Structure 1
Amino acid sequence: MAEHAQNPRLSRRSMLVAPAAVAGGAVLTGVAAAPESTAAVRQITLYAEPLPGGSFGYGLAPGEATIPGPLLEIYEGETLEVELVNNTDQRLSIHPHGVDYDVNSDGSPLNASFNAPGETRTYVWRTRKQADIGGNRFMPGSAGYWHYHDHAMGNDHGTVGIQKGLYGGLIVRRRGDLIPDRQYTVVFNEMLINNKKAPETPMFEARQGERVEFVCVGHGNLPHTFHLHAHRWADTRTGMLTGANDPSPVIDNKNLDPGSSFGFQVLAGEGVGPGVWMYHCHVQMHVDQGMVGLFLVRNPDGGMPAGAQAAIDRFHQHHMAASQSDHSMHHG
């Protein structure tokens, strides 16, 4: 069970699930973008499993659960049928943000929508396209950077499931959206990143010039901010400006509160070159306690930039020293 595998590498770092009419619910990797003729209903099977250390995760196959779970991706107007197999001895579920569903797919005990231990259950998530209702007014569609999580382990709100790693990212794309080369899910959960503390937090990688997509999700009880060194994005649905006169602010730091999510795309190393760049919570007491990770931008040929390994070594030594200092303060 790959607890330490962060965002397992699928084609283009995403998972576009197979059309039900074509593959009977099997997962297709190597799909860059769904064609216009893709069937409206897609199917996927997720497995909820125990992981070492008392954690839990979702995975695409038995024995492949990770924290966070797989990044799920569909297009506006499509329906996603999620067959959830509960391979644990705990009650749990899967609850989405940003999409439509009926009470049977709510994923909450309130609506008796959950998996008993060992049970398999199908949850149906629907999406809609933006609708023109006249008068230059539009009803929003489902496109956005969302997420999913347990809502039943431990209590009726899934507090224990979320604490222990039952969560993942969900993208609903609009036709024509740019498809990235790499995708990463970053979850701030209490004082942890993807349920890890530095120096064990994930190091994300890309080659200079690659288009990288970050999906950022907040959980737990604490307010956070997400900051990425040396890169910036527009505060829009996609992280990009929509035209030469788009007045949207360009930012490099954004609030990431419990239950919230956002995403954006950047060109790795644009304007700054390859190197090792930090991402972290900008609440100072949080970053001081290990809410920090690394974004390694390799040379265009994939090689390590000058000084990169030394920076990575300093990162590990710094936090090891801090950890030892904290230990001595508490036990001296």
Structure 2
Amino acid sequence: ATAEPAGKTTRKTAGEPGEVRRITLYVDKFPDGQMGYGLEPGKPTIPGPLIEMIEGETLEIELVNNTDVTASLHVHGVDYETSSDGTRMNDSVVQPGGRYVYTWRTHAPITRADGTIAPGSAGYWHYHDHVVGTDHGTGGILLGLYGPLVVRRTGDTLPDKTFTVVFNDMKTNNLTTAPDFTAKLGERVEFIVIAHGNLFHTFHIHGHRWADNRTGTLTNPDDQSRIIDTKTTGPAESFGFQIIAGE
């Protein structure tokens, strides 16, 4: 990451991509039968951990399945071979007690031969299981096997903190209240919003607005991006944005 020169408000930005990184992700069960991904064995979370990439890099993810059911890892928004699809159709799944390496690749925007632009991978995406419960993995998603992925472009402004919000079908009886999202005045806050289940939802933040584009921020005074404070999202969709707390 880089920062602006002295004398200006410090702004951290995404650096240059590396070539290949490798992480290990674990699938574990909670005592109540729910499931989650985690960066350490026996420490799953719902949603799963935030995974960040920079356009142009490759990420190899070794998925270790510590449960008694077959599980997998499927991703949205980035490039991969069919062997990293995470479905039964091509046997890219992980048996109980097993492990498997998934490879995700990203690329910057490309100018086609006809002069049009092919979009890059930068954006707010998500990953999830695609096999628990049914061949489509709807059981795994209901149990908690999902998480956020952010692909940043070199030079993108980095947030001070990130919150992930997931809409999903679930039982709420006897559950604790949802967590509060807290930030200090002036902090740059990033929201990643993911929708699962069968319903459409409307996401809204009181007292704040953002640009309806890739980052949620205006790039210059003449940026014509629509400014919104509410966004509707449906099953399998995801989006994200940054705001300044209290602005």
Could you state the TM-score of these two structures normalised by the residue count of structure 2?
0.91
Which of 202, 210, 214 does residue 179 from structure 2 map onto? 202
Residues 191 and 197, structure 1, Cα contact 8 Å, conserved in 2: no
Aligned residue runs from structure 1 range 15-94, under 5 A: 35-36=15-16, 39-94=18-73
Check 1:244–1:82 CA distance in 2 against 1; reply closer, same or farther (3 A cut): same
> What letter matches 2:198 in structure 1?
N
Residues 93 and 131, structure 2, Cα contact 8 Å, conserved in 1: yes
Q: CA deviation at 1:83?
A: 0.4
Deviation per residue, 1:239-266 (Å, 9 max, x gap): 0112212221111111121100000000
The runs of 5 or more residues in structure 2 that have no matched partner are 1-11
Q: CA deviation at 1:35?
A: 4.0
Partner of 1:104: 83
Q: Which has the higher helix share?
A: 1
Partner of 2:6: none
Q: CA deviation at 1:63?
A: 2.1
Q: Secondary structure at the match of 1:104?
A: helix
Greater C-alpha radius of gyration:
1
Which of 139, 145, 149 does residue 118 from structure 2 map onto? 139
* Distance (Å, rounded) in 1 between the aligned partners of 2:109 and 2:52: 18
Q: How many residues align?
A: 236
Q: Secondary structure at the match of 1:190?
A: coil
Deviation per residue, 1:127-159 (Å, 9 max, x gap): 111012266521100000000000010111111
* Distance (Å, rounded) in 2 between the aligned partners of 1:220 and 1:127: 27
* Distance (Å, rounded) in 1 between the aligned partners of 2:183 and 2:240: 17
* Distance (Å, rounded) in 2 between the aligned partners of 1:55 and 1:248: 40
Partner of 1:255: 232
Q: Secondary structure at the match of 1:63?
A: coil
The runs of 5 or more residues in structure 1 that have no matched partner are 1-31, 271-332
Q: CA deviation at 1:228?
A: 1.1
Check 1:262–1:78 CA distance in 2 against 1; reply closer, same or farther (3 A cut): same
Partner of 1:157: 136
* Distance (Å, rounded) in 1 between the aligned partners of 2:21 and 2:14: 11
* Distance (Å, rounded) in 2 between the aligned partners of 1:148 and 1:239: 21
Check 1:75–1:196 CA distance in 2 against 1; reply closer, same or farther (3 A cut): farther
Partner of 1:174: 153
Partner of 1:243: 220
Q: CA deviation at 1:39?
A: 2.9
Residues 14 and 153, structure 2, Cα contact 8 Å, conserved in 1: no
* Distance (Å, rounded) in 2 between the aligned partners of 1:223 and 1:130: 30
Partner of 1:229: 206
Deviation per residue, 1:55-103 (Å, 9 max, x gap): 1000000122100000000100100101000000011101000001111
> What letter matches 2:208 in structure 1?
H
* Distance (Å, rounded) in 2 between the aligned partners of 1:186 and 1:252: 16
* Distance (Å, rounded) in 2 between the aligned partners of 1:126 and 1:70: 19
* Distance (Å, rounded) in 2 between the aligned partners of 1:266 and 1:55: 33
* Distance (Å, rounded) in 2 between the aligned partners of 1:106 and 1:196: 35
Q: CA deviation at 1:33?
A: 6.0
Q: Secondary structure at the match of 2:32?
A: helix
Could you state the TM-score of these two structures normalised by the residue count of structure 1?
0.68
CA RMSD after TM alignment: 1.8
Q: Which has the higher contact order (CA 8 A, sep 6+)?
A: 2
